[in-house]
Amino acid sequence: MAKMPTPDQLLSAIPASFPKAGWMDTKPDFHPGSYCYPAKTETLKGLGFENAHNWAPDNEDWELPENWEEIIYNSLKDALEKHRSLKVFMDCCVRCGACADKCHFFIGTNDPKNMPVLRAELLRSVYRRDFTTAGKLLGKVAGARKLDKSIIKEWFIYFYQCTECRRCSLFCPYGIDTAEITVIVRQMLLDLGLGINWIMNSVSDCNRTGNHLGIQPHSMREIVEFLCDDIETITGIRIDPPWNEKGHEVIFITPSGDYFADPGIYTFMGYLMLFHEIGLDYTLSTYASEGGNFGSFVSFDVAKRLNAKMYAEAERLGVKWILGGECGHMWRVVNQYMATYNGPADFLETPVSPITGTVFKNAAATKMVHIAEFTADLIKNNKLNLRPRRNDHIITTWHDSCNPARAMGILEEPRFILKNVCNNFVEMPEHTIREETFCCGSGSGLNAEEIMDQRLRGGFPRANALRYVHDTKDVNWMACMCALDRAALPPLVDYWVPGVTVSGLHELVANALVMKGEIPRTMDLRQEDLPFPDEDPEAAEEA
Amino acid sequence: MDITAYCTSKGEKLVGLWVDRFFASYPIDSTGFMRTRRDKFANPVGETTRNAAALLFDAVIGKDADPEAVKLALHDLIWIRAVQDMTPSQAVGAIVLLKDILRKEVLAECLKPENSSSGSLKGYLDMESRIDTLCLMALDMYAEARERVYRVRIEDVKQSQSQVIRLAGLRRERSEPLPETDNEG
């Protein structure tokens, strides 16, 4: 008769046991929660991915096209020819390990395949086999392996466990950009018809309708009217933002999450209040209502297509320059890819702030200014009447969103703004902020609810640093400037650090902004009572 | 024999062995990092585990321990393991493996004839009971963590389209007739 296993045996927790197989032969496990839902066939077909088909990640057979090996070979060959960077990244890694423990997914999961070096090795091993002499001749000895279907599955699991945050690249002595490798592998998977629903549905909706939820223009406008109703309730001021109008100086483009999702809407209300107060000559657009480029998560070609919409709309409306909202990946695309995708934007002018006269020379190529730069300039030139006391119940920290921080270097402006609108600002610990910031764990389109466990463990290093300042310095607020952060950090905080509120930067700006003709403020943008409300001049007079 | 004093004297070794059992839940390629990177922000899983094990060990061997601090340490440990793709028994079970370690390292000493009269066996069994208590507490915490994950998932969906839901609600209101009222005035 068999005996019951000991607890040790049950848990397989024998220390110093060696794995039964090497990493090449250790296959990923597919179970609900370990993968994102696949993209719909019609969505992918509509975007021109001809191998789109019905499949399920937890099925043994992914029903790949018959010539799937040829497709992958050609796809990789094409990528290597097109992106010399990829060829360099494939060849130059010396496996020094500097990146290994820098990835938030590795730190949060302790799965070695989440070490950026090993994640890249998943592709590099195939590259060696097919594109290097040593790999062709020596095979496994040279770190090469033959492509098989299980490798495709491995790619799907691990390249959708990279948020393209580029923290690893910061520590790599060669600057290997894992984010680019991830995008290229996701593109190769799309060539086989394999994509994830949350990203590709959003890409499709942005492509056709202009925003990631596919909300029609009239509904979008109606939603913004709600937000204007809310602003009127809070401030007594009615704002009626222009839509799709020609002849304005500026087009304002922000991620569409700011229109539809909590708490992004409060940041959006903040933008509208700021523009109204300074009398900015601007228009919104339903056609270009998504700045966050979902295409950039999976394919350079799709990213280019979505990026082009912003510039086409700017040209159609005849604006002088583009003002961009608090977004993450949008800024990497604009700052690092736009010029080669769709540049030069000669039909636009180098941005000049109409309020302060500041010339944004840094935006001379892209003609697009980040709103944190714009607002910091307003504050620096004393153009805003701010009452930070309204935010005195808040002890805030600043989460450097990965892409603005690492791909743009925009580190000081948001801190400058925050310190001007909040009296209590606390930094999280060194090595978890600025260019070393930890990702929210849900970037690059991984904020799908079906992989919430993965998001929570990937975001744990961020939450852990937040928890420290919450416990030791009573921090109760975390501001950030990325729409994915605003979507992803609330659940993260709800699990790891309850008691901290997440917001965008301009929500706090608008809370502190004293607007001409407003009623005394008694509530914040969330319509919660202000512990330190404005004095009512009439009540003060009666007293 | 004072079992608390005896275990304290061997504490470093015993806690180290126990921590290894927790780390054994992870692939061996990662445990080197977890063991050696002593920075709570760069290696939060490793350091949280290590700190929790030290505190829980003191509680198990009968030292004075602040119940709230013990609860918090256990909570931090379990809430990490609850979202790391482990089975419930893996997430919680490494706690029970301390028994295995104590039986190998401490029990023999308690059973020595010269210690039989000092109540050391009772002290030993009390330690095991405290491990059972920790396991039961951990079970509650694990369940609470999983419930939180599901709640967070629901909130995530709701928040991601809050204004669309608001719009839908308003349109429904508009298309429905207003409720009848007796108020003529």
The model's pLDDT over A68-92, given as tens digits with 9 standing for 90+, comes to 999 999 999 999 999 999 999 999 9
Q: Check CB contact of B181 with chain A, cutoff 8 Å.
A: no
Close Cβ partners of A119 (under 8 Å, ≥ 6 residues apart) = A103, A113, A158, A159, A161, A162, A178, A181, A182
How buried is B22 (Cβ within 10 angstroms: 0-12 exposed, 13-18 middle, 19+ buried)? buried
Task: With cut-offs at 50, 70 and 90, classify the pLDDT of residue B180.
Answer: low
What b/e readout covers A191-227, taking b as 16+ CB neighbours within 10 angstroms?
bbbbbbbbbbbbbbbbbebbbbbbbebebbbbbbeeb
End-to-end alpha-carbon separation of chain B, Å? 89
User: Quick check: B100 and A7 CB within 8 A?
Assistant: yes
Helix, strand, coil content of chain A in percent (nearest 5):
50, 5, 40
User: Quick check: B42 and A107 CB within 8 A?
Assistant: yes
**Contact status, residue A460 vs residue A107, Cβ threshold 8 Å:** yes
Whether the bond between A263 and the residue before it is cis, its omega within 30 degrees of 0, is yes
Chain A nearest-CA distance from B16, in A, is 11
CA–CA gap between residue B81 and residue B114 (Å, rounded)? 42
In A348-393, beta strands by DSSP E = 368-370
* Contacts within 8 Å (CB) and 24+ apart, B105-112: B105/B10, B105/B13, B105/B14, B105/B17, B106/B3, B106/B6, B106/B7, B106/B10, B106/B14, B109/B1, B109/B6, B110/B1, B110/B3
Greater pLDDT, A538 or B152: B152
Q: For helices B11-23 and B44-60, give the axis angle rounded to 10 degrees.
A: 130
User: Quick check: A18 and B89 CB within 8 A?
Assistant: no
Looking at residue A240, its pLDDT comes to 97
CA–CA gap between residue A6 and residue B76 (Å, rounded)? 26
pLDDT tens for each residue of chain A, 543 residues long: 678 888 888 887 665 556 677 888 888 889 999 999 999 999 999 999 999 999 999 999 999 999 999 999 999 999 999 999 999 999 999 999 999 999 999 999 989 999 999 999 999 999 999 999 999 999 889 999 999 999 999 999 999 999 999 999 999 999 999 999 999 999 999 999 999 999 999 999 999 998 898 889 999 999 999 999 999 999 999 999 999 999 999 999 999 999 999 999 999 999 999 999 999 999 999 999 988 899 999 999 999 999 999 999 999 999 999 999 999 889 999 999 998 999 899 999 999 999 999 999 999 999 999 999 999 999 999 999 999 999 999 999 999 999 999 999 999 999 999 999 999 999 999 999 999 999 999 999 999 999 999 999 999 999 999 999 999 999 999 999 999 999 999 999 999 999 999 999 999 999 999 999 999 999 999 999 999 999 887 776 665
In a domain, residue B119? The reply is yes
Chain A nearest-CA distance from B119, in A, is 28
For residue B96, list chain A residues with Cβ-Cβ distance below 8 A. 7
Nearest chain A residue to B26 by CA distance is: A110
Q: For helices A371-380 and A412-421, give the axis angle rounded to 10 degrees.
A: 50
Question: For residue B80, what are the domain limits?
Answer: 3-146
Pairing of the two strands A477-480 and A396-399:
parallel
Greater pLDDT, B161 or A308: A308
Residue B79 in this model has a pLDDT that exceeds 90: yes
User: Quick check: A262 and B159 CB within 8 A?
Assistant: yes
User: Quick check: A8 and B45 CB within 8 A?
Assistant: no
Looking at residue B182, its pLDDT comes to 53
Task: With cut-offs at 50, 70 and 90, classify the pLDDT of residue B185.
Answer: very low
pTM for the model: 0.94
**Contact status, residue A312 vs residue A326, Cβ threshold 8 Å:** no
Tokens for A323, please give them: 């003002």
User: Quick check: A11 and B157 CB within 8 A?
Assistant: no
Nearest chain B residue to A225 by CA distance is: B167
Neighbours of A68 (CB within 10 A): 18
Best mutation site among A4, A11, A109, A262 for testing chain B: the one with the most B CBs within 10 Å? A11
What is the pLDDT of chain B when averaged over all its residues? Answer: 91
Is the complex ipTM higher than 0.90?
yes
Domain count for chain B: 1
In a domain, residue B167? The reply is no
Partners of A351 in the β-ladder? none
CA–CA gap between residue A422 and residue B111 (Å, rounded)? 64
What b/e readout covers A234-268, taking b as 16+ CB neighbours within 10 angstroms?
bbebebebeebeeebbbbbbbbbbbbbbbbbbbbb
In a domain, residue B63? The reply is yes
Of B27, B37, B161, the CB nearest to A261: B161
Portion 6-45 of B in contact with A at CB < 8 A:
17, 20-21, 23-31, 33-34, 37, 40-45
User: Quick check: B148 and A495 CB within 8 A?
Assistant: yes
Dump pLDDT digits (tens) for B14-40. Answer: 999 999 999 998 988 888 899 999 999
Residue B170 in this model has a pLDDT that exceeds 50: yes
CA–CA gap between residue A388 and residue A362 (Å, rounded)? 29
In a domain, residue B164? The reply is no
Neighbours of A359 (CB within 10 A): 12
